[in-house]
Structure 1
Amino acid sequence: MERTWRWFGKKDKITLAMLKQIGVEGIVTALHDVPLGEVWTREKIRELRQYIESYGMRWSVVESLPVVETIKYGGPDRDHQIEVYKESLRNLSAEGIHTICYNFMPVLDWARTDLLHANPNGASNLFFSYAEFAYFDIYILKREGAREEWSKATSPSPTGEPRNILEEADELAKTMTPEKDHKLVENIIIKTQGFVSGNFNENDETPVEKFREFLNLYKGVDKKQLRQNMKYFLEAIMPVCDECNMNMCVHPDDPPIEVLGLPRIVRTEEDIQWMLDAVPNKHNGLTFCAGSLSAGAYNNVVDMAEKFASRTHFVHLRSCHIFSNGDFTEASHLGGRADIIELARIFEKEGQRRAADSQSSILDTQLPMRVDHGMTFTDAPGGIMDESSHGHNAGYTLLGRMFALGQVQGILATVDRELGIEYKQPGFYD
């Protein structure tokens, strides 16, 4: 697998010079300055590609070329926006970039309720509490029907033990304050969404009201309809993908649960199989995010990797730990439910298979991988380990991800020796 890193452009405080030194081979990024729904021009793509290449790396994956909401809910300008998307695909291909990670999650991209949840080791990780999320839905968002839905919510516990999430949310309401409410809104809407989807930003004065407006767009859109909208989009762009050799790889829903009355359609093995079967084109593939999938107790991540390896175009290596009540947190890259060591074996073997296949192009044999959602280290203010105030995007610290990349590089070196693959550490003498 190619070792890549998600980088947020020239304004990112983590520089390409830093990434070169820690063994990064490819960059995962996007044109973050282009407004939603506008064409990515060749000129803008070329300028960023050349900048990345000037540091000896390549622009390996676009994450993300956003699928705007009107495509997802089937709005009146859907076909126009699909044409815009096609033009951006053609321009990316013309500049030598052929892998697109995208998602089909309505309104809410990945969701967490706590961005600095304490670990036993003193560092922190992203965390998801069902009770806090239900409180947000019922008491802050005040979504119609939310209380009834949460009263019927099945237990997310991996052991299946009963859990009354609605009762927990009501108890939580007794201790919440305006300051705590504001923090929860920041965590769920602003800090995890603004740099991902482009729907929200930190300057929004009424983010909750804006959020409600987006939710209203999906009235009447159930799982069946959202699936059909996804199929419509993929069938429309596949001719361009065939023409330009563009690999589309959908990111699983994160967390892999239905939220806020919205359908989620890429959360289980059955969902992924449906998506691949609905549009059986080799360019319609998967971003195998082990972290997102491992947050669902019903997902066997290793079995899913074995099953979908041949249709995987991009890999996110991270892992989640699920607590006994079903809440979850990001785990060590050597722990949690994902079994990253076994995943490394599966995807390195897949790389071998592709390399040995005379029908595979060079593009098809490259399988980019990035570590994801690292720890946030803390120390005395200003200390070398203190990342809590560096201004990074949530989950995307330097030291935390660098630590994770070191773990994964060790895994890959060991697995490659097992498989007889020559392992080289970028940037070092042989």
Structure 2
Amino acid sequence: MKESWRWYGPFDKIALSEIAQTGASGIVNALHEVPYGEIWQSDAIAARRDEIAGTNLDLTWNVVESLPIHENIKRGEGDLDQLFANYRQSMKNLADNGIHTICYNFMPLLDWTRTHLYAPVHRGGTALRFSSPHMAAFEIHMLEREGAEADYSEEVRARAKIWFDASTEDDRQTLLNSIMSGLPGAFDRYDINGLREALKRYKGIGRAEIRANYARFLAEVIPTAEELGMRFCVHPDDPPRDILGLPRIVSSEDDIAWIMAQQDSRANGLTLCSGSLGANPVNDVPAIARRFADRIHFAHLRNVAKEPDGSFQEAAHLDGDTDMVALIAALVAEEARRKAEGRADWEIPFRPDHGHELLSDIGSGTVVGYPLIGRLRGLAELRGVIRALEHGNVTYG
């Protein structure tokens, strides 16, 4: 498996020289400074590619994460022909510069969502956390979203009210900032009024409409991906549940099966994110990996510990609720199958996703969720599992 590392370019305090010392050789990157819907120009892509390769540290830009999808495409409104044309041109420009794997998501409005960015971890350090009572407090009492009460149990609503009544203005601002932190790069964050206005644009758009808009997107881009020899891989919803009343449609095994069926092509693939899928109690992540193995083009390996009320917290990479050894065994077995077929693209790139802030990570100002030491620990643990499985000819499970 190809050891890779997410790097935020000019937004990242971690240097490429530090990444090289982790042992990773693939760089997962994006032009976050380009507004959604605009073309990624070939010269900008080449400059970033050459910046990575020019370190003489054997680093290569091997995965784009993400080539973002404009909200109008998700809502199915506006001049979509131009947006699709721009997207396809960006794909061509990437392919022309030797970059052929694109990770993307179809989450409405927000990307990954957490209520706590620095939840304490036993024995020290901090972790990302999603608290259902805090999310309920935000939706019901701060955002005052109509119908939000129905999305939470009576117990969660009661705990949300207790927190809200005891909270200060600073507490509420911290919660808002945490929820907004999943938006990448220089993307504008919403305040409460701005979020209310943004949600109005999704009024009347339900699961069926989002699915139809997604199916159209795939029909517009997957033929181009085939022509360019690109591997397109959707990232699951994070968390894998509806947020802010907006439908999430990439949250389960059935969702993935539907997506793969829309364009029955190897180019229409999956980013296997064990943490996102693992936060849904109905998902058996190793089983999902085995079922869709031939369509997995990229993997995010991380773990979460779930709680009965729907909350979860980032666990150490080999802890948490997902059997990481079984999951990696499925990926290593798929690599062996591809290699036996004689495929040049047999290797699956993966990265240690998220990570606890540990030691000198704390207070270092790295992109939230992407510390140096915490991910270094995760990569080392995952590397050990991979080597052991490869040595043992993947007999686990």
Q: What TM-score do the two structures reach when normalised by structure 2?
A: 0.96
Q: Does 2:332 align with 1:372? A: no
Number of residue pairs the alignment of both structures matches: 393
Unmatched segments (≥5 aa) in structure 1: 155-162, 378-384, 422-430
Give how far 1:308 is off.
1.0
Q: Equivalents in 2 of 1:193, 1:331: separation in Å?
A: 22
Q: In structure 2, list runs of 5 or more residues that go unmatched.
A: none
Distance 1:166 1:199 in 2: 31
Q: Cα RMSD over matched residues?
A: 1.5
Residue 180 of structure 1 pairs with residue 182 of structure 2: no
Question: Do 2:103 and 2:232's aligned partners in 1 also have CA atoms closer than 8 Å?
Answer: yes
Following superposition, the deviation at residue 10 of structure 1 comes to 3.8
Check conservation: 1:256, 1:296, Cα contact below 8 A: yes
| Partner Cα separation in structure 2 for residue 36 and residue 304 of structure 1 | 31
Q: Is 1:333 aligned with 2:317?
A: yes
Q: What whole-Å deviation, never above 9, does each CA across 1:190-227 have from its counterpart, x for those lacking one?
A: x22243xx5424xxxx6222222221111111111101
Name the counterpart of 1:200. 188
In 2, distance between residues paired with 1:272 and 1:178?
40
**Structure 1 residues 418-429: aligned runs within 5 Å:** 418-419=392-393
Deviates most, 71-80 or 176-185: 71-80
Number of the residue aligned with 2:79: 77
> Aligned residue for 1:427?
none
Distance in 1 (alpha carbons) for counterparts of 2:194 and 2:293: 39
Partner of 1:45: 45
Q: Distance in 2 between matches of 1:401 and 1:126?
A: 13
Matched with 1:135 is 137
**Which stretch of structure 1 is more off in the superposition, 73-82 or 229-238?**
73-82
372, 386, 389: which one pairs with 2:363? 389
Partner of 2:246: 262
- Name the counterpart of 1:94: 96
CA-to-partner distance for each residue in 1:126-151, whole Å, 9 max, x for gaps?
Answer: 1111010010011111112223x23x
| Residue 403 in structure 1 maps to residue 362 in structure 2 | no
User: What secondary structure is seen at the aligned counterpart in 2 of 1:335?
Assistant: coil
CA contact (8 A) 2:333 2:394 kept: no
CA contact (8 A) 1:373 1:396 kept: yes
Task: State how far apart, in whole Å, the 1-side matches of 2:129 and 2:227 are.
Answer: 42
Q: Of residues 216, 220, 235 in structure 1, which corresponds to 2:204?
A: 220
Question: How much has 1:420 moved relative to structure 2?
Answer: 8.0
- TM-score of the two chains, using structure 1 as the length reference: 0.88
SS in 2 for 1:333: coil
Give, as a single letter, the amino acid of the residue that structure 1 aligns with 2:369. Answer: G
Pair 1:322-2:312 in alignment? no
CA deviation digits over 1:158-181, x for unaligned, max 9?
xxxxx6222221222221110100
5 Å-filtered alignment, 1:263-278, equals 263-278=247-262
What's 2:6 paired with? 6
- Distance in 1 between the 2:6 and 2:19 partners? 10
Contact 2:13 2:367 in 1 (8 A): no
Q: Do the aligned residues in 2 keep the contact of 1:113 with 1:133 (CA within 8 Å)?
A: yes
> After TM superposition, which residue ranges in structure 1, 4 or more long, deviate above 6 angstroms?
none
